[in-house]
Amino acid sequence: MNTKSIDAIANAVLYEGYMLYPYRPSSVKNRQRFNFGVLYPRAYSEAQAGSDAWSNQTECLVEGSSLTAIEIKVRFLKLVARASDSQVSAAWQEAIECDVEVPISLLGTLVCEPISWPFSFPARRDVDVLPGASGQVVRTQELIQGMVRISVEQVKNELFRITVLVENLVGFESGEESRDQALMRSLVSTHTLFGVTDGCFVSLLDPPQELAEVAATCRNIGTWPVLVGAEGDRDTMLSSPIILYDYPQIAPESPGDLFDGTEIDEILALRIMTMTDAEKHEMRHADERARKMLERTETLPMEHLMQLHGTLRELRSVEEETP
């Protein structure tokens, strides 16, 4: 799988909602983060009458043969609860990246033998002593357990439908825990990457006319699969919890991640610059990613900021109509 060309897009999906303007733990807005692609423990989801998902499903089409190889990777964030007895480091929910890589398989094999691939990320507790014995920071992770289920159906000659189901199967006592406690055992910003060798994916947004009817039957639940990479490439697909179009790109003018949903780089950069010293102090000590974002914004050259003011793309000439 050629992930280099899609890393920026996949990471933008992964960290959507990780930090929200005004980028401070004390902000009410930052107390309701992670609204995209969260797979909660099944017991918690069922206690909420299913309004919070515990699984997602991707279905996509591949043109190929029984010897076409398929590679699948599931990515998500695992939350880390940070507690501190120091005034320098506030309580916060950090995150670490988790990858689940399913062994490469042939489509013909999966038609006969679907795969159920379990995964687990252990609980752990780390204690860091702050410089000068000014206190300590305790980071706690809960156990994560789940399953990736993969099946393939041969729809017609040289056309296959791939179904991938991602489930959160961690044990959980329902009825007592809060959303924050459930999030500690959740798969956050869950998305799936697909790659094929000796085959090609079919766009579900703009399929060829002869495949439009079959494409319309693909059932995607909590995901939105699109082609990614260079325009015209059909060997890689990203199934995202956020609605995208085929071949999404990060704007070249963007100075870096701002994390806020539907972010507008110029407005957010200007708002960060107008923060008070106290607000910047809180942002700087809230999170390592927030600190880097603040430093990047404060040192942003004026010419780079002006590039964010507006860019026209894909202008087309208009021919005069003949009366």
C-alpha span between 38 and 41 (Å, rounded)? 10
Residue in 236, 308, 319 with CA at minimum distance from that of residue 266? 308
What total of structural domains would you count in the chain? 1
| Domain span at 75 | 34-250
39, 38, 40, 18: which is closest to 30 by C-alpha?
18
pLDDT at position 94 is 87
Within-domain flag for 264:
no
Whether 297 is covered by a domain: the verdict is: no
- Asked if the structure places residue 267 within a domain, the reply is no
> Measured between alpha carbons, how far is 294 from 276 in angstroms, rounded to an integer?
12
Any domain includes 120: yes
**Residue 262 domain flag:** no
Does residue 298 fall inside a structural domain? no
Which residues lie closer than 8 Å to 47 by C-beta, 6 or more apart?
174, 175
Query: Does residue 6 lie in a domain region?
Result: no
Query: Residue 193's pLDDT is what?
Result: 96
Closest CA to 82 of 154, 24, 139, 21: 139
Distance of CA 240 to the CA centre of its chain: 7
From first to last of the 323 residues of the chain, give the pLDDT tens digit: 666 667 888 888 888 777 777 777 777 666 677 778 999 999 888 888 767 899 999 999 999 999 999 999 999 999 999 887 766 666 788 889 999 999 999 999 999 999 999 999 999 999 988 776 667 888 999 999 999 999 999 999 999 999 999 999 998 876 556 888 899 999 999 999 999 999 999 999 999 999 999 999 999 999 999 999 989 999 999 999 988 999 987 766 565 666 665 556 666 777 777 788 888 887 777 777 877 877 777 777 666 666 665 665 555 555 554 44
In a domain, 93, yes or no: yes
- pTM, two decimal places: 0.83
The answer to whether residues 250 and 263 touch, using CB atoms and an 8 Å cutoff, is: no
So what's the pLDDT on residue 4?
Answer: 65
